[in-house]
């Protein structure tokens, strides 16, 4: 009995842990505890990773936002510079884009740099460098040892204005002349390039729909439509409307309709071109008033230096580039009260001819007849008070509209389109050795044939039939009207206040020479 009981007692009292089933249970319970610990660690790690992803995503998003704001601010500031605004105004515009319009931190003084101080555009006039900053608080990263609670994100951008590569054949700059471009009669205007018209006149758009901008007249008038007349161009851009959209046609048959109305005005592409002074190539000697007709020439000097003279024949002029014939009038660059050529034979030595009018409301530059050879020249038509040494008062004109208030007497211009007039060309001519006392001419005037004081509204009249190559280069008169009567082909560019074309024939403007000079500017984001 005792033996049985002794044998049974260990069996009956054996713990579950010591049994095979109990061992498996204990092991399973141990594994469950380890799994819970591991899961806790994994969950914490996953939450940390999610937090890092969220914070990193926020930082990346805000960095992209800072870059977009910097881009917008740089472009806006560059537009201000393009319109002729001061650096202070451009800087304030960039600041407004950053802090006011996008609620980012107000930029420090060194964050808006005009011109840029770093990168490939450092020191370039017309460019703006902008850095936009923003402080961003993190939600999860701050819990990680060694990380900050706030990070600064930033964007950097550089924008500036550059010239279009497309040829601007006609630019009508005045916003308040209706129409800014007027083609009447039975002829047509054909421009192998762009036409830009800033006139704010009314009319209709390219689809024939009325433009209700509250202004009278039209921005562009092309006359009554038919199969031949009208305005032909590669691109026609107008702030206001046109008289009849059907009369605007592509330069090449089959190309898309070139007309675009309701566009923003384009700034003057030559606004930064300085009036010519002695330091830029003007011979400051006074040449007086010269008149040449079929019968005689007046105002011609007879001094030993032969500054403006009637050739006896055989004289070698302009560093050997021209041999004068007997009776030919030879004119030298310098400062004139007037030039009036209606006949005879005239050779104009290459250089800058400043016309400083002494009488108001008369044609102080009149070249309407005769046999005139003028290669490599530029005419600067200005007022009686122009100082060729300092450039005053013309240098102050800028974008200021007329009238002139400094008392200058101003004269107009009359040109015959069939005469041989070609612009400044420093690649062809060494201007400093063409005659005794000649001045080196700045290459900034390359391609310029005619330059009128900006605030002058004196009319330029061009008449006659132009053969290709007879009147070339850029003709610039910011606020003045140009009137063309006749027909023919001009390898030229007109940057003027307004333009009026009359007559029965076609006027073709190739713009290939002129487009190298007065390209319209536009703003580009370059970095």
> Which pLDDT band, with edges at 50, 70 and 90, does 372 fall under?
very high
Q: Which residue has the higher pLDDT, 266 or 499?
A: 499
- pLDDT recorded at residue 417: 87
Q: Write phi, then psi, for 516 (nearest 5 degrees).
A: -75, -15
pLDDT value of position 521: 64
pLDDT at 383 over 70: yes
Tell me what pLDDT residue 450 has.
96
pLDDT for 9 equals 44
- DSSP letters, 301-353, are --STT-SSEE--S--EETTTTEEPPTT-EEE-SEEEEEEEESSSEEEE-SEEE
Domain ranges of the chain: 30-163, 168-260, 278-489
**pLDDT grade for 352, boundaries at 50, 70 and 90:** very high
The predicted pLDDT at position 5 comes to: 43
The stretch 334-342 carries a mean pLDDT of 95
Average pLDDT over residues 44-67: 73
Range scoring the smallest mean pLDDT among 202-216, 261-275, 294-308, 418-432? 294-308
Strand, coil or helix: what is 33? helix
94-103, 160-169, 496-505: the lowest-pLDDT one: 160-169
pLDDT for position 8: 41
The pLDDT tens digits of the residues spanning 499-521 come to: 999 877 788 888 654 444 555 56
Q: Region 46-50: what's the mean pLDDT?
A: 66
Please tell me the distance from the alpha carbon of residue 30 to that of residue 210, in angstroms, as a whole number. Answer: 86
pLDDT (average), residues 238-267: 91
The pLDDT tens digits of the residues spanning 437-473 come to 999 999 999 999 999 999 999 999 999 888 877 889 9
**pLDDT greater at residue 21 or residue 114:** 114
- Provide the pLDDT for residue 7: 42
Which range, of 360-369, 410-419, 491-500, averages the lowest pLDDT? 360-369
Residues 478-483 have a mean pLDDT of 96
167-202 tens-digit pLDDT:
678 999 999 999 999 998 778 899 998 999 999 999
* CB contact set of 230 (below 8 Å; sequence gap of 6+): 183, 188, 189, 222, 223, 247, 248, 249
Average pLDDT of the chain, as a whole number: 84
Considering only CA atoms, which of 506, 418, 422, 500 is closest in space to residue 463?
Answer: 418
Helices (H) and strands (E) in the chain, counts: 3, 31
pLDDT given for residue 378 in this prediction: 97
Is pLDDT above 50 for 6? no
Among candidate residues 417, 396, 418, the one with its CA nearest the CA of residue 405 = 396
Q: What mean pLDDT comes out for the span 493-503?
A: 92
């Amino acid at each position: 009995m005792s033996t049985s009981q002794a044998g049974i007692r260990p069996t009956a009292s054996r713990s579950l842990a010591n049994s095979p089933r109990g061992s498996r249970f204990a092991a399973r319970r141990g594994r469950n505890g380890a799994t819970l610990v591991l899961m806790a660690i994994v969950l914490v790690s996953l939450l940390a990773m999610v937090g890092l992803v969220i914070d990193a995503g926020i930082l990346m998003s805000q960095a992209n936002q800072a870059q977009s704001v910097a881009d917008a601010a740089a472009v806006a500031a560059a537009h201000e510079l393009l319109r002729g605004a001061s650096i202070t105004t451009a800087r304030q515009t960039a600041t407004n884009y950053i802090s006011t319009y996008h609620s980012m931190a107000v930029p420090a003084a060194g964050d808006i740099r005009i011109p840029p101080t770093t990168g490939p555009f450092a020191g370039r006039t017309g460019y703006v460098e902008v850095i936009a900053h923003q402080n961003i608080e993190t939600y999860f990263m701050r819990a990680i040892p060694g990380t900050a609670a706030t990070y600064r994100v930033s964007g950097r951008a550089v924008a500036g204005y550059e010239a279009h590569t497309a040829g601007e054949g006609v630019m009508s700059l005045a916003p308040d002349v209706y129409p800014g471009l007027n083609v009447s009669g039975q002829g047509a205007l054909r421009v192998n390039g762009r036409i830009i018209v800033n006139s704010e006149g009314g009319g209709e758009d390219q689809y024939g729909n009325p433009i209700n901008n509250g202004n009278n007249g039209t921005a562009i008038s092309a006359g009554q439509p038919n199969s031949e007349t009208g305005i032909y161009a590669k691109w026609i851009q107008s702030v206001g409307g046109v008289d009849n959209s059907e009369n605007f046609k592509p330069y090449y048959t089959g190309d898309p309709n070139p007309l675009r109305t309701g566009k923003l005005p384009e700034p003057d592409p030559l606004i930064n071109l300085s009036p010519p002074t002695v330091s830029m190539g003007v011979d400051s000697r006074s040449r007086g008033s010269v008149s040449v007709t079929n019968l005689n020439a007046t105002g011609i000097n007879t001094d030993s230096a032969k500054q403006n003279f009637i050739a006896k024949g055989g004289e070698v002029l302009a560093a050997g580039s021209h041999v004068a014939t007997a009776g030919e009038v030879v004119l030298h660059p310098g400062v004139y009260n007037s030039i009036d050529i209606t006949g005879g034979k005239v050779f104009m030595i290459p250089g800058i001819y400043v016309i400083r009018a002494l009488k108001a409301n008369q044609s102080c530059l009149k070249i309407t007849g005769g046999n005139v050879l003028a290669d490599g020249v530029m005419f600067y038509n200005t007022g009686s008070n122009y100082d060729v040494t300092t450039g005053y008062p013309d240098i102050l004109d800028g974008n200021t509209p007329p009238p002139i208030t400094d008392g200058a007497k101003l004269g107009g211009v009359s040109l015959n389109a069939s005469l041989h007039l070609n612009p400044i060309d420093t690649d062809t001519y060494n201007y400093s050795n063409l005659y005794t006392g000649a001045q080196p001419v700045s290459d900034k005037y390359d391609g310029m044939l005619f330059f009128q004081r900006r605030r002058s509204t004196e009319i330029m009249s061009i008449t006659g039939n132009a053969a290709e190559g007879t009147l070339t280069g850029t003709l610039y008169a910011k606020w003045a009207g140009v009137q063309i009567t006749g027909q023919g082909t001009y390898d030229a560019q007109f940057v003027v206040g307004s333009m009026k074309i009359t007559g029965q024939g076609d006027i073709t403007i190739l713009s290939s020479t002129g487009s190298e000079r007065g390209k319209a500017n536009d703003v580009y984001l370059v970095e």
